[in-house]
Amino acid sequence: MSQRKKIVLIGAGNIGGELAALAARSELGDVWLFDIPDKEGVAKGKALDLEQNGAVLGYDAHIRGTSNWDDLTGADVAIVTAGVPRKPGMSRDDLLSVNLKIIRGVAEQLKSRCPNAFVIVVSNPLDAMVYAMRQGTGFPAERVVGMAGVLDSARFQLFLAREAGVSIKDVRAMVLGGHGDTMVPVTSYCTINGVPVSQLIAADKLAAIIDRTRNGGAEVVKLMGTSAFYAPASSAIAMAKAYLHDEKRLIPCAAFLTGQYGLKDLYIGVPVIIGGKGVEKIIEVALNEAEKAMLAASAAAVRELIEASARL
Protein backbone atom coordinates (compact mmCIF):
# COMPACT_ATOMS: atom_id res chain seq x y z
CA MET A 1 0.00 0.00 0.00
CA SER A 2 1.38 3.40 -0.84
CA GLN A 3 2.02 5.85 1.94
CA ARG A 4 0.88 9.42 2.20
CA LYS A 5 3.42 11.91 0.93
CA LYS A 6 5.28 13.99 3.47
CA ILE A 7 5.42 17.69 2.71
CA VAL A 8 7.63 19.85 4.90
CA LEU A 9 7.35 23.61 4.95
CA ILE A 10 10.43 25.38 6.28
CA GLY A 11 9.17 28.70 7.57
CA ALA A 12 5.72 28.94 9.14
CA GLY A 13 5.14 32.61 8.44
CA ASN A 14 2.70 34.19 6.01
CA ILE A 15 3.60 32.08 3.00
CA GLY A 16 4.23 28.94 5.11
CA GLY A 17 0.74 29.12 6.64
CA GLU A 18 -0.95 29.54 3.27
CA LEU A 19 1.16 26.71 1.82
CA ALA A 20 -0.05 24.43 4.59
CA ALA A 21 -3.66 25.44 3.98
CA LEU A 22 -3.41 24.75 0.25
CA ALA A 23 -1.46 21.50 0.59
CA ALA A 24 -4.06 20.21 3.05
CA ARG A 25 -7.05 21.31 0.98
CA SER A 26 -5.74 19.61 -2.09
CA GLU A 27 -4.78 16.55 -0.02
CA LEU A 28 -1.25 16.47 -1.36
CA GLY A 29 -0.10 14.62 1.75
CA ASP A 30 0.67 15.14 5.42
CA VAL A 31 2.21 18.45 6.31
CA TRP A 32 4.89 19.57 8.76
CA LEU A 33 5.16 23.29 9.41
CA PHE A 34 8.65 24.05 10.69
CA ASP A 35 9.98 27.25 12.24
CA ILE A 36 12.68 28.40 14.67
CA PRO A 37 12.16 27.54 18.37
CA ASP A 38 10.90 31.07 19.12
CA LYS A 39 8.10 30.55 16.60
CA GLU A 40 7.28 26.93 17.42
CA GLY A 41 4.02 28.00 19.03
CA VAL A 42 3.02 29.79 15.83
CA ALA A 43 3.85 26.71 13.76
CA LYS A 44 1.90 24.41 16.10
CA GLY A 45 -1.00 26.85 16.39
CA LYS A 46 -1.39 27.24 12.62
CA ALA A 47 -1.17 23.47 12.22
CA LEU A 48 -3.90 22.84 14.79
CA ASP A 49 -6.15 25.53 13.33
CA LEU A 50 -5.72 23.98 9.88
CA GLU A 51 -6.45 20.45 11.11
CA GLN A 52 -9.65 21.75 12.69
CA ASN A 53 -10.43 23.48 9.39
CA GLY A 54 -10.33 20.02 7.80
CA ALA A 55 -13.33 19.00 9.86
CA VAL A 56 -15.33 21.85 8.33
CA LEU A 57 -14.05 21.61 4.78
CA GLY A 58 -13.75 17.84 4.73
CA TYR A 59 -10.12 17.30 3.86
CA ASP A 60 -8.03 14.56 5.35
CA ALA A 61 -4.49 15.60 6.17
CA HIS A 62 -2.35 15.48 9.26
CA ILE A 63 -0.79 18.88 9.83
CA ARG A 64 1.75 19.38 12.57
CA GLY A 65 4.00 22.21 13.73
CA THR A 66 7.54 21.73 14.98
CA SER A 67 10.95 23.30 15.51
CA ASN A 68 12.64 19.91 15.67
CA TRP A 69 14.47 18.95 12.50
CA ASP A 70 14.11 15.25 13.37
CA ASP A 71 10.40 15.50 12.54
CA LEU A 72 11.19 16.37 8.94
CA THR A 73 13.18 13.23 8.20
CA GLY A 74 12.37 11.54 4.90
CA ALA A 75 10.26 14.32 3.36
CA ASP A 76 9.10 13.94 -0.24
CA VAL A 77 8.78 17.67 -0.83
CA ALA A 78 10.35 20.60 1.04
CA ILE A 79 9.16 24.14 0.38
CA VAL A 80 11.46 26.75 1.86
CA THR A 81 10.20 30.19 2.85
CA ALA A 82 12.55 30.61 5.82
CA GLY A 83 13.96 34.09 5.99
CA VAL A 84 12.81 37.65 6.24
CA PRO A 85 10.45 39.32 3.78
CA ARG A 86 10.81 42.81 2.32
CA LYS A 87 9.69 45.99 4.01
CA PRO A 88 8.49 48.95 1.93
CA GLY A 89 11.35 50.54 -0.03
CA MET A 90 13.55 47.43 0.12
CA SER A 91 14.59 45.47 -2.93
CA ARG A 92 14.74 41.67 -2.84
CA ASP A 93 18.52 41.98 -3.10
CA ASP A 94 18.62 43.87 0.21
CA LEU A 95 17.73 40.55 1.90
CA LEU A 96 20.82 38.75 0.59
CA SER A 97 23.11 38.50 3.59
CA VAL A 98 20.47 37.69 6.21
CA ASN A 99 18.58 35.14 4.12
CA LEU A 100 21.73 33.53 2.72
CA LYS A 101 22.83 32.54 6.21
CA ILE A 102 19.40 31.06 6.89
CA ILE A 103 19.26 29.15 3.61
CA ARG A 104 22.72 27.69 4.13
CA GLY A 105 21.61 26.41 7.55
CA VAL A 106 18.41 24.93 6.10
CA ALA A 107 20.34 23.29 3.25
CA GLU A 108 22.66 21.56 5.69
CA GLN A 109 19.71 20.04 7.55
CA LEU A 110 17.84 18.99 4.41
CA LYS A 111 20.95 17.35 3.01
CA SER A 112 21.17 14.79 5.79
CA ARG A 113 17.50 14.41 6.73
CA CYS A 114 15.64 14.66 3.44
CA PRO A 115 18.09 13.35 0.83
CA ASN A 116 15.33 12.40 -1.62
CA ALA A 117 13.19 15.52 -1.38
CA PHE A 118 12.13 17.77 -4.22
CA VAL A 119 13.09 21.20 -2.88
CA ILE A 120 11.25 24.36 -3.88
CA VAL A 121 12.85 27.59 -2.69
CA VAL A 122 10.70 30.70 -2.25
CA SER A 123 12.93 32.88 -0.05
CA ASN A 124 14.39 36.00 -1.64
CA PRO A 125 16.48 37.08 -3.42
CA LEU A 126 15.19 33.98 -5.13
CA ASP A 127 17.77 33.15 -7.78
CA ALA A 128 20.69 33.49 -5.36
CA MET A 129 18.88 31.56 -2.62
CA VAL A 130 18.06 28.58 -4.83
CA TYR A 131 21.66 28.55 -6.05
CA ALA A 132 22.84 28.44 -2.42
CA MET A 133 20.34 25.66 -1.67
CA ARG A 134 21.70 23.47 -4.45
CA GLN A 135 25.26 24.20 -3.39
CA GLY A 136 24.48 23.43 0.24
CA THR A 137 22.51 20.24 -0.31
CA GLY A 138 24.52 18.90 -3.24
CA PHE A 139 21.22 17.50 -4.56
CA PRO A 140 20.89 16.94 -8.31
CA ALA A 141 19.78 20.15 -10.01
CA GLU A 142 16.51 18.58 -11.17
CA ARG A 143 15.43 18.30 -7.53
CA VAL A 144 16.18 21.90 -6.49
CA VAL A 145 14.07 24.65 -8.06
CA GLY A 146 13.03 28.20 -7.32
CA MET A 147 9.50 29.57 -7.39
CA ALA A 148 9.23 32.89 -9.20
CA GLY A 149 8.12 32.47 -12.81
CA VAL A 150 4.68 31.06 -11.98
CA LEU A 151 4.02 34.03 -9.69
CA ASP A 152 5.43 36.69 -12.02
CA SER A 153 3.46 35.18 -14.91
CA ALA A 154 0.29 35.18 -12.81
CA ARG A 155 0.74 38.87 -12.11
CA PHE A 156 1.34 39.56 -15.80
CA GLN A 157 -1.75 37.52 -16.75
CA LEU A 158 -3.97 39.38 -14.31
CA PHE A 159 -2.97 42.80 -15.61
CA LEU A 160 -3.40 41.66 -19.22
CA ALA A 161 -6.83 40.19 -18.49
CA ARG A 162 -8.04 43.36 -16.80
CA GLU A 163 -6.75 45.58 -19.63
CA ALA A 164 -8.27 43.39 -22.35
CA GLY A 165 -11.52 42.95 -20.42
CA VAL A 166 -11.37 39.16 -20.66
CA SER A 167 -11.42 36.28 -18.21
CA ILE A 168 -8.13 35.55 -16.48
CA LYS A 169 -8.70 31.94 -17.55
CA ASP A 170 -8.11 32.82 -21.20
CA VAL A 171 -4.79 34.60 -20.78
CA ARG A 172 -1.52 32.75 -21.34
CA ALA A 173 1.68 34.61 -20.57
CA MET A 174 5.18 33.83 -19.48
CA VAL A 175 7.76 35.72 -17.48
CA LEU A 176 11.37 34.55 -17.66
CA GLY A 177 14.65 35.74 -16.16
CA GLY A 178 15.57 36.61 -12.60
CA HIS A 179 12.96 37.35 -9.94
CA GLY A 180 13.73 41.05 -9.73
CA ASP A 181 13.47 44.31 -11.61
CA THR A 182 15.20 42.68 -14.60
CA MET A 183 12.59 39.95 -15.10
CA VAL A 184 11.57 39.36 -18.73
CA PRO A 185 7.84 39.32 -19.55
CA VAL A 186 7.89 37.54 -22.92
CA THR A 187 5.20 39.32 -24.89
CA SER A 188 5.88 37.33 -28.05
CA TYR A 189 4.38 34.28 -26.28
CA CYS A 190 1.45 36.11 -24.69
CA THR A 191 -1.92 35.16 -26.06
CA ILE A 192 -5.54 35.51 -25.17
CA ASN A 193 -6.78 32.07 -26.06
CA GLY A 194 -4.36 31.91 -28.96
CA VAL A 195 -4.83 35.49 -30.13
CA PRO A 196 -1.53 37.41 -29.86
CA VAL A 197 -1.91 39.96 -27.11
CA SER A 198 -0.53 42.71 -29.37
CA GLN A 199 -3.75 42.48 -31.42
CA LEU A 200 -5.88 43.24 -28.40
CA ILE A 201 -3.81 45.61 -26.28
CA ALA A 202 -2.16 48.81 -27.54
CA ALA A 203 1.64 49.02 -27.36
CA ASP A 204 1.71 51.80 -24.74
CA LYS A 205 -0.70 49.92 -22.49
CA LEU A 206 1.36 46.77 -22.90
CA ALA A 207 4.51 48.64 -21.91
CA ALA A 208 2.77 49.96 -18.77
CA ILE A 209 1.62 46.41 -17.89
CA ILE A 210 5.17 45.08 -18.27
CA ASP A 211 6.39 47.78 -15.94
CA ARG A 212 3.67 47.01 -13.39
CA THR A 213 4.51 43.29 -13.58
CA ARG A 214 8.18 43.99 -12.88
CA ASN A 215 7.13 45.92 -9.80
CA GLY A 216 4.27 43.56 -8.94
CA GLY A 217 5.85 42.40 -5.69
CA ALA A 218 6.82 45.90 -4.57
CA GLU A 219 3.28 47.15 -5.20
CA VAL A 220 1.94 44.65 -2.66
CA VAL A 221 4.77 45.32 -0.18
CA LYS A 222 3.97 49.04 -0.33
CA LEU A 223 0.31 48.40 0.44
CA MET A 224 0.72 45.78 3.18
CA GLY A 225 4.12 46.53 4.67
CA THR A 226 5.22 42.96 3.93
CA SER A 227 5.46 40.53 1.01
CA ALA A 228 2.56 38.93 -0.80
CA PHE A 229 1.61 35.44 0.33
CA TYR A 230 -1.52 34.08 -1.34
CA ALA A 231 -0.28 33.98 -4.94
CA PRO A 232 3.28 33.00 -3.93
CA ALA A 233 1.92 30.04 -1.96
CA SER A 234 -0.40 28.92 -4.77
CA SER A 235 2.49 29.11 -7.22
CA ALA A 236 4.75 26.90 -5.10
CA ILE A 237 1.92 24.43 -4.51
CA ALA A 238 1.33 24.19 -8.28
CA MET A 239 4.98 23.16 -8.63
CA ALA A 240 4.77 20.65 -5.76
CA LYS A 241 1.62 19.15 -7.28
CA ALA A 242 3.25 18.88 -10.71
CA TYR A 243 6.01 16.83 -9.07
CA LEU A 244 3.87 14.68 -6.78
CA HIS A 245 1.30 13.90 -9.47
CA ASP A 246 3.85 13.61 -12.30
CA GLU A 247 1.86 16.19 -14.25
CA LYS A 248 4.58 17.15 -16.78
CA ARG A 249 3.56 20.79 -16.55
CA LEU A 250 5.39 23.32 -18.68
CA ILE A 251 5.88 26.26 -16.35
CA PRO A 252 8.55 28.90 -15.78
CA CYS A 253 10.75 28.20 -12.76
CA ALA A 254 14.22 29.14 -11.60
CA ALA A 255 16.25 26.19 -12.91
CA PHE A 256 19.96 25.41 -13.02
CA LEU A 257 21.32 26.15 -16.47
CA THR A 258 24.15 24.22 -18.05
CA GLY A 259 24.45 26.09 -21.34
CA GLN A 260 20.79 26.63 -22.27
CA TYR A 261 20.13 30.18 -23.49
CA GLY A 262 23.92 30.59 -23.65
CA LEU A 263 24.07 30.60 -19.83
CA LYS A 264 25.59 28.21 -17.34
CA ASP A 265 26.24 27.71 -13.65
CA LEU A 266 23.37 29.86 -12.49
CA TYR A 267 19.70 29.60 -11.59
CA ILE A 268 17.32 31.78 -13.56
CA GLY A 269 13.69 31.64 -14.65
CA VAL A 270 13.15 29.56 -17.79
CA PRO A 271 10.34 27.32 -19.04
CA VAL A 272 10.73 23.79 -17.67
CA ILE A 273 8.74 20.59 -17.57
CA ILE A 274 8.04 19.45 -14.02
CA GLY A 275 7.04 15.84 -13.49
CA GLY A 276 7.79 12.95 -11.17
CA LYS A 277 11.53 13.27 -11.68
CA GLY A 278 11.55 16.96 -10.84
CA VAL A 279 12.75 19.29 -13.57
CA GLU A 280 12.56 16.77 -16.40
CA LYS A 281 13.47 19.17 -19.16
CA ILE A 282 14.53 22.76 -19.67
CA ILE A 283 12.77 24.15 -22.71
CA GLU A 284 14.69 26.52 -24.95
CA VAL A 285 12.20 28.76 -26.70
CA ALA A 286 13.13 31.12 -29.51
CA LEU A 287 13.35 34.71 -28.27
CA ASN A 288 13.46 37.88 -30.33
CA GLU A 289 16.51 40.15 -30.12
CA ALA A 290 15.00 42.47 -27.50
CA GLU A 291 14.00 39.53 -25.30
CA LYS A 292 17.45 37.96 -25.66
CA ALA A 293 19.06 41.22 -24.56
CA MET A 294 16.72 41.48 -21.56
CA LEU A 295 17.48 37.89 -20.53
CA ALA A 296 21.22 38.54 -20.80
CA ALA A 297 20.89 41.65 -18.61
CA SER A 298 18.81 39.71 -16.09
CA ALA A 299 21.38 36.91 -16.02
CA ALA A 300 24.13 39.47 -15.39
CA ALA A 301 22.19 40.82 -12.40
CA VAL A 302 21.68 37.29 -11.02
CA ARG A 303 25.36 36.48 -11.57
CA GLU A 304 26.32 39.55 -9.54
CA LEU A 305 24.22 38.34 -6.63
CA ILE A 306 25.72 34.86 -6.81
CA GLU A 307 29.19 36.38 -6.77
CA ALA A 308 28.22 38.59 -3.83
CA SER A 309 26.95 35.45 -2.05
CA ALA A 310 30.31 33.75 -2.54
CA ARG A 311 31.96 36.60 -0.64
CA LEU A 312 29.57 36.28 2.33
Q: Which residues carry out catalysis?
A: 179
Full DSSP string of 211-255: HHHHTHHHHHHHHHSS---HHHHHHHHHHHHHHHTT--EEEEEEE
- Using a 10 angstrom Cβ sphere, with 0-12 exposed, 13-18 middle and 19 or more buried, the burial of residue 77 is buried
* Distances 261 to 49, 147, 296, 299 between C-alpha atoms, Å: 45, 19, 9, 10
Evaluate whether 103 touches 79 at the Cβ level (below 8 Å). Answer: no
The pattern of x and - marking residues 200 through 239 that bind ligand APR according to CB under 6 A reads: --------------------------xx-x--x-------
Exactly one of 7, 8, 9, 12 binds ligand APR (CB under 6 A); which one?
A: 12
Exactly one of 7, 8, 10, 239 binds ligand APR (CB under 6 A); which one?
A: 10
Closest separation between CB of residue 213 and ligand APR, Å? 16
List b or e across 177-196, with b for residues whose CB sees 16 or more CB atoms inside 10 angstroms.
bbbbebbbbbbebbbbeeee
Asked if 149 touches ligand APR (CB under 6 A), the answer is no
Q: How far apart are the first and last CA of the chain?
A: 47
Exactly one of 86, 134, 214, 303 binds ligand APR (CB under 6 A); which one?
A: 86
3-state DSSP call for residue 286?
A: coil
Residues touching ligand APR, count (CB under 6 A): 29
Asked if 123 touches ligand APR (CB under 6 A), the answer is yes
Closest separation between CB of residue 99 and ligand APR, Å? 6
Evaluate whether 32 touches 72 at the Cβ level (below 8 Å). Answer: yes
Stretch that binds ligand APR, among 81-89, 110-118, 197-205, 261-269 (CB under 6 A): 81-89
Residue 253 to residue 145: CA distance in whole angstroms = 7
CA angle 211, 279, 66 (to 5 degrees): 90
Asked if 99 touches ligand APR (CB under 6 A), the answer is yes
Asked if 85 touches ligand APR (CB under 6 A), the answer is yes
Closest separation between CB of residue 246 and ligand APR, Å? 27
Q: Which of 254, 231, 274 is nearest to 77 (CA)?
A: 274
Residue with smallest beta-carbon separation from ligand APR: 13
Exactly one of 81, 153, 182, 187 binds ligand APR (CB under 6 A); which one?
A: 81
Closest separation between CB of residue 193 and ligand APR, Å? 31
The pattern of x and - marking residues 14 through 53 that bind ligand APR according to CB under 6 A reads: xxx-----------------xxx--x--------------
Residue 216 to residue 195: CA distance in whole angstroms = 24
Q: Give the up-direction half-sphere exposure of residue 16: CA atoms within 13 A in the CB hemisphere.
A: 32
Closest separation between CB of residue 73 and ligand APR, Å? 16
Binding site for ligand APR (CB under 6 A): 10-16, 34-36, 39, 81-86, 95, 99, 102, 105-106, 122-124, 226-227, 229, 232
